Structure 1
């Protein structure tokens, strides 16, 4: 029985205020690249739902760029390491690994023949290095600037030149090969943040935090003039040339992007991207007909030249670890909640997404559940909130319903028949109905998870301090304690089967244990213990025949009730990242989330 990865609903770029982000473009025009944590994310520019993730770096990656041939990608991380890997094979086989700098790499540029590479950043001994991509042999010296270098570009035509932008406010020019320092350009009055040659190499542009953009001759490096006066009211984070070299796109911290006519240095159009801090524009890329920019929020905007007032598409999602996952009643929409308090709604078939609007939690969400009409969430701001499902692919907004919980919620489930929501917090078990609390009960243990048996009404609460699953019965709207099921480790999750006949619980002792709900006895003698670390979450297939478990060991294991001795392991389901939540869309499709900020769909056939 084989499994396959059906889709990756990819993470957004990880952004940081005051720091430019570098997007990489595929020379063939198909894909674009960005980074998030240890991952390099490759997305199809026409169908961004199609994505691939490279996870072989051992620390955070800052930049990734395609070689001009399109066969390789080079990525640089915060330790100063560069990895060169192929784009042809699914496994992305490593070609070379070098350590050109002793600190974070901020930008990478390839020569037009894909033979040479220049990297810049904040090294201990130097701020830049140029070398052969095959051997790592140095082909010159990148020096002459006194502070870390932020950006680099290679002239695409002969005679070759390299330009670098530095935090000492200068742009440096190097001639070669072998490359030697020629001169610095000192027009900028604040950090120089981006340098880019035009496609023909006849010009290059530099942009800085002084809001200015300058144009220079590509061969002699003489100043040709300034674009705009200044180009932006805030710092300019990036520039991108049109394929014909006649226009230039700029993005700025003043929350605008602007399109410039290079010949006249006049603005063609302005894209106003919003009014909040999150609308600052930290990166841009011009690829074929697509003009992409990245907001500080991580959103990727597809600008519409014919309608500058509104992007024709915005890619949303998460760039912080995903903590919870919930499905709507029809199981065609996936809701994911993240560490920073945002909830995203995904179409399970297409990957089209939108973010729930309005006044949300603003902090980590620990509970997420759906019924026919609403999405309910609880977060570590100690509140319970409610949102509508929205129409079509558009997500709804939080309603003006906020219930103060009194202490930190740990999970949440709903008893649909009676419309009662159970919220275990660190101190008590709360029952909510409508817009208010209807009962509360103090507990002597610390809850971690909750599941309601939709057939009998039984409520299972996992405990972390006492290593027990506590079973409760209803008395009106209150819960009364019943059986206790003892484990050898803290309970991390528990779920009743769709038919209510079984309860599965997982723990920090790497075990997944199945109980019959008739008397809450072990359902079989076979121990499910093939995970190598704490099991974080469990989920039932709709037919109640299989259980999936996700773990700190990055694996998902599928267990079969009919054949307890057999199991299927999805290794490295979220590489270098623990599985935080999972569920089944149908009897052959699992959806999982991880700390890598990605949501993945898996096909696991029954036969």
Structure 2
């Protein structure tokens, strides 16, 4: 299911209440996303939560139990200290208690929050359970009676994580408001906090084994360590991850901190000095959401967005389960070496620079990257250009500046120095699209709440506002005509409008179309629009249909581009394919080019029209031959001085 923006909403998994037969297949096989993972306190079991809830034998990786009952994804787990029970928390607002031998639920589901359950934790004596929810409430429950005995309601935002101190006297919490708090576990009274230091939501916390320190990790990519008695930050920030740090664990001896991140890696830190001991460890292709040490500290387990589970030797930092071949290991070590790989989240925008030698990309990982297309090397990267996910970018026609849009923010970069030169404020919500005018003097921006602005791209001054748009409707995309006199927009309210850039008057439309994307033809006479599953070409003056609807994609078209000579239209779709169309006749030239594993969000022709660059939700970009439709292989390219090629032979992520 999609949100109105086209980005995913949390999925639900319809499950029934029964146990599965034991699996005799490969270790940890058949998993989807892993949101939570935990060793049992006796070290014999590993539990995983995500689209499924399962218990495995920790030595073999064989599935013992497939626990069914939750109706949405399982995001939180906690074993009782005697290992006989497992508590699970879900997006269905409930927790369930399971018998770890039989797989049966103990009692009925507990309705613990009015929103999704983010965290669940047993106390040291297994007598109480703490839960944290998206409703901004923490509750402590009596296990025997299932009665609520403590309720903490003074949080200003969602609570993402809770954990008891080793002696059970404290309950620490991590909150979406960027802070850590410590409460008395018996009364719920605030003992310490809010502990301020992080600049973005705190995702997880961990007590050291003796209870004297608390480690916290955050979306700000940093780790802090706090004194649990005074609340003073004693160490940090520990920096190195290049994306949100989602999980953190102390080793049983307290000497080491283990962290997992959306950058797909793990790192090991000296918990007393903060020095990096090992890492980044790469054996996942998605965000690392869960970590857990075995009780003896000899192993740790990791679970990730890509559904993979890895058991590691804590001393050698090698994966011991499942057994990986040398080819597997090489594959993960060069995870950033796949064609145009390196981003750790959705690639939302790609563009060529006018010189044909460089290309740029923007991503939900908040980074912007610049590539040398002749050598295939990463030239520049700005890892945290915005505080939020980047939706759009645009290159000025002279190639000197780059604009990018995120939540409430537009940044303009100098493409040579690769530094921010303007920070434009004016949008109240998401900036869905930014576009430079052909003369590079203006910048158009569009976004949520029907906001469509024009800016002086030299000074950053907002000079015009396009009026009359539905304030409840997002503007998906805008495009300047080649002469710079017109601006076209398409919006969530299924309208397309054409504006006079200088007077801000609407000179054509609104035309009814459910388009997500649009672009003017190079001669300015027509506008190509991608809609729910078809391509239409409209007369730019009258809005009458010139071509279409041209239907081939099985899902919404999310990006569209004309070739430089105007002869071809390229469409990229949520169905993971690309099509090429004859711009004059509407004939399908190349049908359903396949290579991406998730929806395609951006396409761009090279300046000479020979190649097409695509960006996808699978975190990658790919290069296509626009004549044959074949994926371009670096080993097959003859990289001469004048040729354009955007394919990486090697990307080294910089830490």
With the length of structure 2 as denominator, give the TM-score of the two structures. 0.44
With the length of structure 1 as denominator, give the TM-score of the two structures. 0.47
User: Structure with the greater relative contact order (CA < 8 A, sep ≥ 6): 1 or 2?
Assistant: 1
